[in-house]
Each structure stands twice: as C-alpha cells, then as structure tokens.
Structure 1
Amino acid sequence: MSLYSNESGRGELPIGRRVAQWRVRRRLTQQVFADRLGKSKSWVDKVERGVRALDRYSVIEEIAEVLRVDAVVLLGRDAAMVSVSSIGSGLDGVERLHAALTSYEVFRTGAEPVPVPPAELDRHVGHAVLTYQHAHYALLVRTLPGLLDAARRLHRVDPARGAELLVRSYRIVSLSAVKLGEPELAWLAADRAVAVAGTDPGLAATAVVPLAQALRASGRDRLAWTATVAVACRSEIGGSVAGALLVQAGLAAAGCGDRRAVTELLDQAAATLVGGHGRRIDVGPVEVEVARVVAVAVLGDAGRRYTGTNRWSGGTGGGDYRPSTGARTCSTSRGHTSRSGTRWERGEC
C-alpha cells in the first residue's frame, strides 16, 4: 500500500480524487495541469483515477504548488502518516480551530480569567501575522485558538479597545483556514470578524478582504466580487484597504471568466494605491501586478496572456458572469483617496 493511497477504510477521498477536485476548482484542464507539472495528460489521468500512486512527497508538493494549496490539503488525514511532524500537528490544530470557532461565550461557566492587556495582545496578534507571512501554518493553527480566546475575553470587558484586536484575530484565522483548504471555516471566521466590526465601516472593510478570499476558495466568486466592490466603492474606504478589496474583486472576476472586468478592477486597485499612505500599507503596485499574473492562471487555458502594460493579448471578449448592475466596478475618480492610520496589516491580504 502506498503511503498516500488512503486505503485505510476511513471513508476519505483518495488523494487522486482530491487532486482532481482541486484541478477542477482551479478551472484547469488535464492537459493544462499536466503541462504546468511537466507531465503527460495520461499521467494526470492515471493519478486522478488512482491507477498511479503518488508515493513521493516531493511530487505531492509540486502538485500542491500548481494547484495553489498546501500539501496538507491534498494529503488529508493521511498526513498523519507522513514523517513530517509539522503536517500532523497542523491537522490537529485545524480541529482545535473548529472547536474554538464553535464555542460560544454565553454558555461558559466558572470564574472569568483576567484579560490579557491590550498592548500584550497586540504583540501576540502581530506575532501571528508574522507566522502567517512565513507560512508556518502548523505552528499558527496551534496558537490561534488561544489567541481567539484571549481576544474574545478582552472584547467582553473592553469592547472599545477589544473590537479591533478581535477582528484582526478572526482575520488571521480566516486567512490560515484558506491556506489549509478549509474554506467554510475561513468563511465562518471572516463573517465573525465583520459582525464584531459592527458599525465601524473601516474596520468592517478590513474583514471583507479575508471574507472574499474564503468565498473565492469555496467557489463563490460572484459573491466575492459583489461584496468587495460594494465596500471598496464607499467614500470612507480608501488607501490600502480599498486597494486590497479591489485586488480581491479582480481575482473574483477572473474566477467568473470576465477578463475585461479583471483589467478594470486591477487598474482601479493600482490607481487607488497612488498617494495612498498609512502607518502600515499591505498592498502596493507589485501586489497588483502579481494579481494580474494570478488572474491569468485562474483563467486557465482559456485565458489571455498579460503583456505587463495593462492589456491582454489573444482570445476574445470577456464572459457574461457579472454581479448586478452598479456593483461591477468603482469609479476611478475615487481611486486616489487615502486613509491614514489604516487598521489593515501588511501581509494579511
């Protein structure tokens, strides 16, 4: 039995089926997927049908890179069999994250622990952001349940100072869940962040970015497109937050197959960032250009080649999969608004 063949009788999908599901989700044909791996279409077909075993971890990592998921997502619970301790730990952490997000404060009993001081909790959240940036997901998911608990505790006793820290905590949970292939968990965390932000539009906008990522990861590109554009078009949302929202809108438009909207939205994202400033800026021109390249990959073999000059070459007109009228793009005239003191962190988008 192959180490990764999943013949343990636990009812999980074999790894080949998981590869096929993610390939379809990324809108890649077997031929395009094979070309990106440097393999034949026949090889891909045999892997997906389980005829050919994936018995080398290095090959699984290559497949995961092309599919833009973590290798642990493809391995599923079989990851516990791999001699890479961080993967097994990561899976345990995912279960703890599920438990943390489904626990409700109203049912707690016993003495209330002393809240962590805001400055100390801020340092803990910052450390979680750095851990996420360095892709140490196994370590991150082990620490996030405790971070969420501390942030909730502070928010209960000091809502004014605790709201922002709790929103940031939920955001990092959502972003990490996307990386680990748990879009529904990511959606739940991001939705909690939006709810905590309440009537603060700036804080709520920062939560919509991971919400859009969760929606896109679960195949709901149209919802992600509509939500991000609706928020980014608000006059009080500017600078890097609006730029991050428009980047997500552009990627969602790519998922919907609308190349014209991709160009418009990413151009608006670039324009929004001109003159945008703040204590910490998370999105800049480089990230917008990277998003253009990612959009090409999302469009797959039907996509056009991006020339690097805000134009597409080859192919024909864009798709007809669009949000409702008025929600498609923002006016570029508001693209130069800035918002100092942004709550958004570098690297959390």
Structure 2
Amino acid sequence: MKPKGKEVDPKDRAFGRHIQKLRQARKFTQTELAGRMQKTSSWMSQVERGVQKVERLDVLQDLADALGVSVQQLKPGAPGPAEPPPVQPPVYKSNDLDEARQLISGHPAVGTILGALRPAPRRTLEELSSDVDEMWELTHAGEFADVSARLTELLPDLEQTVRVVTPEERETAYLLLARTYQALAAAFVRQDAADAAWVAADRAIWAAELSGNPLHVCAGVFRMVHAFVRLRMLGQAEHAATTAIEALKILDERGELAVEGMSVLGSLHLALALVHARGGHDRAGARTEIEAARQVARRIGEDRNDFNLEFGVTNVEIQAVSTAVELGDAGEALDIGLSIDAERLSPERQGRLLMDLGRAHAQRRHTGEALACLLRAEALDPETIRTHVASRKAIRELVLVEGPGAPPELMQLAARAEALE
C-alpha cells in the first residue's frame, strides 16, 4: 500500500500508465491480466496507478509474459505490441528451388558425356568463378529464387566446361563445379529439401576429388552430414562426420593441416555436435564436440569464411546455443547467446542465432522475448523461419500456450510461416 501522505513517484506513474496501455491493447481487463500472473486485481490496479512498484526481475518477467511482450517493452516509451516490426515482414515465396531440383534430377551434361554435343566453353573460367562467388553470396543471403534462376545456366555450363577445357584447366574447372554443388546443397538444406541436398553434396564430393583438392572433399562431406541430419539419418551423419574428422586430425597431428583445413575440421566437430544433440540427446557427446570446435577456433584466432563455412569463434558459440536448445537447456542457450556479437557474419548466421534464442525463450514460455527474436530473425533471413522445422514448432507451441490471448503479431507470424498447417 502507498504510505499515507507520500506522493507517487512520476517514474512509477509513467510505468503504470504504460502497463495500462499494453493491457488495453491486448483487450485484457485488470482481473484477466492479474489472473494470468496469479495476482489479485487490486495488486494490478495499484501497479497501473503507480502505487505498487514492480522492481523484481522475476515479477517483471511474469508481467511481460502475461502481456505477451518482452521485458524491454515494459519500459515507458518502448514500442507497443500493436506496432509492426521495424522491417516490413517478407512476402514468402514457395518452392524457390524447384528449377534447381529439376535440373539435378537429370544430368546437366548428358549430351556432352555421350559425345552428342561437344560445345566450346561459352565463358572463361574467370567469368565462371565470378558467377560462383555471386551465387554463394545469394545463398548466404537466402535469395534462393535468384540462386535457382542463375543455376539453370551456370550448372550446365560448368558441367560441359569440365569436359572440354584443356588438361591444364581441368582441375580449376572441377573445383568451380564442386563449389557450385556445395552451394546448392547448402541451399537445399535450408529449404528442408534434404533429399536434393544429398544428391548435390554427393556430386560436390565427386567434383572436388577430381579437382585434386581434398579439403573441398571434406567440405562436401560437411554438406552431406547436414543433409543426413535433416533426413533423420543420424547413423550415416555420424559415420560421415567421424570419418572425415579422423582423417583431418591425423594431418593436424603431423603439422600438415593448413588454417583452411582447421576451418573444415572445426565445422565437422560442430556438425557432429548437432548429430549427438538430435540423436538421443547425448549431452556428453554434444558438449565434447562443441569444446573440440572451440579449441580449433581458438587456434585459428579469428572468424573466417573458408569454403563458405563461416567458421570461427563466433560461429562456434552460435552452434553452442543451437545445441543447448536442442538438448532443452534454455538457460544455458540464453547465457551463451546474449553475449554473442554476430554482426560480421552473414544474415543466415545472424538469423539462426536469433531463431535459436527465440526457441530458448519459448522453452521458458517467455512469449514476448521469443516473439521479438523470431521477428528479428524473420526480417534478417525469412527462410530460417519458414523452412526450419524447429522454428515452426516453436511458433506453434507459443500459439498453444497463449491460447485465445495470443498476441496478434504472433498469429500473423504463424500465418506467414505456415506454422499451424
């Protein structure tokens, strides 16, 4: 109760008015909001009048959860729940990689292989290399419609080029082909088209071997492991990752593994951590692999993008967040994730971190924080939200938890991500 004769602090009054506006925007009565917090309507009335201070973090979190907002939005002047996110929600496209899937269903150079066609290369290797670099940029940005459109010309050109160039140029041409199939495998995985990703990764490994670049072979194995994980073929995923790791560790022990190879080794440790987390929730195995990746990243000492793996200290911690969420350790995920600065990484990596933080908040039923993270992830990388099974599951669970009082922004996100279908 307010002590007799004592004026209400203007800050408390402003806080109370802000809470009242948030409540009214949700169309809750004081009694309904108080009931969601297991408080009395009298207590809620005092909060809105500024008489009752709300300073304890756990009470602030309960209030935010009851209103379906983040704790930050409880501050007067913060954006209200009815306001749209700062970035216009994307218009999702369906089946962005259909053309690419159809392309690899046959063989892009069957006429050349049979000898029916023997065209001269239409573009130089330098031009093709520039196109491959640009396709990787589009892949990291999640621009899969553009990836698919460019592949319809680029992939047949490369498949023909490797068969008609001079012997001196052949290895370079095969390396470009391997990188192209790696990008395609990465794109297919992100669109949850794991069967097509498997095909693309297998061709990437074949082309990398013909290029004479064994590290690119291992990079292709990394892409295949992620295809296996999406297909729930965890035994195959573990075997593929372990075999490559053991071979790279032998080279490392001999002092023959370059820094680029360390990036591949660390990335495979991260992939194996995911396998352990998905397969029977093997906490010990997952954490062992995360720690192994951390040690490799510390040796490298910087964030790199060898083989478009974006491996480094930052990416290891992003994967540590993802692994903790997979294991149901939301507190650990939030402790790690909230200290990560991922701004230098691609939109895909930033979006993945935000998606996993949203999942962690959802596990704790912090609807406001979860929604804020998921909306930011969607703005950065829509495909992470639309195509990732875990993100759609988190959105669906938030809707079920909130019931009829679910925030409209959450329902709109669920509709865009098709999470309730």
Q: Does the 8 Å CA contact 1:97/1:141 hold for their aligned counterparts?
A: no
Letter in 2 for 1:239: M
Deviation at 1:128? Answer: 0.5
Report the equivalent of 1:219. Answer: 232
Q: Tell me which of 142, 150, 158 is aligned to 1:151.
A: 158
Equivalences for residues 260-339 of structure 1 within 5 A = 260-276=284-300, 280-281=305-306, 282-300=310-328, 303=329, 305-306=331-332, 308=335
Per-residue CA distance 1:150-176 (angstroms, 9 max, x = gap): 222222223221121111011011111
Deviation at 1:304? Answer: 6.7
**Identical counterparts, % of pairs:** 22
Report the equivalent of 1:167. Answer: 178
Aligned to 1:87, what secondary structure does the other structure show? coil
Q: Tell me which of 140, 144, 160 is aligned to 1:133.
A: 140
Cα distance change of structure 1 residues 306 and 229 upon mapping to structure 2, 3 Å threshold? farther
- Counterparts of 1:94 and 1:123 in 2: how far apart (Å)? 19
Aligned to 2:317, what secondary structure does the other structure show? helix
Deviation at 1:97? Answer: 3.4
Cα distance change of structure 1 residues 259 and 125 upon mapping to structure 2, 3 Å threshold? same
Per-residue CA distance 1:123-151 (angstroms, 9 max, x = gap): 10110011011111111112123222222
Report the equivalent of 2:276. Answer: 253
Cα distance change of structure 1 residues 275 and 101 upon mapping to structure 2, 3 Å threshold? farther
Cα distance change of structure 1 residues 121 and 103 upon mapping to structure 2, 3 Å threshold? closer
Deviation at 1:297? Answer: 2.7
Cα distance change of structure 1 residues 133 and 124 upon mapping to structure 2, 3 Å threshold? same
Report the equivalent of 2:99. Answer: 93
Report the equivalent of 2:266. Answer: 243
- Counterparts of 1:218 and 1:93 in 2: how far apart (Å)? 21
Per-residue CA distance 1:9-53 (angstroms, 9 max, x = gap): xxxxxxxxxxxxxxxxxxxxxxxxxx9xx8xxxxxxxxxxxxxxx
- Counterparts of 1:262 and 1:169 in 2: how far apart (Å)? 30
Cα distance change of structure 1 residues 304 and 88 upon mapping to structure 2, 3 Å threshold? closer
Aligned to 1:306, what secondary structure does the other structure show? helix
Report the equivalent of 1:123. Answer: 130
Per-residue CA distance 1:306-334 (angstroms, 9 max, x = gap): 2657xxxxxxxxxxxxxxxxxxxxxxxxx
Structure with more of its chain in helix, by fraction: 2
Aligned to 2:300, what secondary structure does the other structure show? coil
Per-residue CA distance 1:75-126 (angstroms, 9 max, x = gap): xxxxxxxxx5x72571542443344557635246234142422211111011
Deviation at 1:298? Answer: 2.5
Q: How many residues align?
A: 228
Q: Does the 8 Å CA contact 1:94/1:141 hold for their aligned counterparts?
A: yes
Q: Tell me which of 106, 121, 125 is aligned to 1:114.
A: 121
Q: Does the 8 Å CA contact 1:178/1:186 hold for their aligned counterparts?
A: yes
Letter in 1 for 2:150: T
Instruction: State the structure with more CA Rg.
Output: 2
Aligned to 2:311, what secondary structure does the other structure show? coil
Per-residue CA distance 1:267-316 (angstroms, 9 max, x = gap): 1111112232798442111111111111123234xx5742657xxxxxxx
Q: Does the 8 Å CA contact 2:101/2:196 hold for their aligned counterparts?
A: no
Structure 2 residue 205 is matched with structure 1 residue 194: yes
Q: Does the 8 Å CA contact 1:209/1:245 hold for their aligned counterparts?
A: yes
Report the equivalent of 2:223. Answer: 210
- Counterparts of 2:160 and 2:244 in 1: how far apart (Å)? 29
Aligned-CA RMSD value = 3.0
Deviation at 1:191? Answer: 0.7
Q: Does the 8 Å CA contact 2:109/2:156 hold for their aligned counterparts?
A: no
- Counterparts of 1:190 and 1:152 in 2: how far apart (Å)? 15
- Counterparts of 1:101 and 1:285 in 2: how far apart (Å)? 39
- Counterparts of 1:203 and 1:299 in 2: how far apart (Å)? 31
Aligned to 1:274, what secondary structure does the other structure show? helix
Q: Does the 8 Å CA contact 2:274/2:323 hold for their aligned counterparts?
A: yes
Q: Does the 8 Å CA contact 1:225/1:250 hold for their aligned counterparts?
A: no
- Counterparts of 2:314 and 2:213 in 1: how far apart (Å)? 29
Letter in 2 for 1:306: E
Deviation at 1:225? Answer: 2.0
Deviation at 1:192? Answer: 1.0
TM-score (norm 1): 0.58
- Counterparts of 2:220 and 2:325 in 1: how far apart (Å)? 26
Q: Which runs of 5+ in 2 are unaligned?
A: 1-64, 69-83, 85-89, 252-256, 337-421
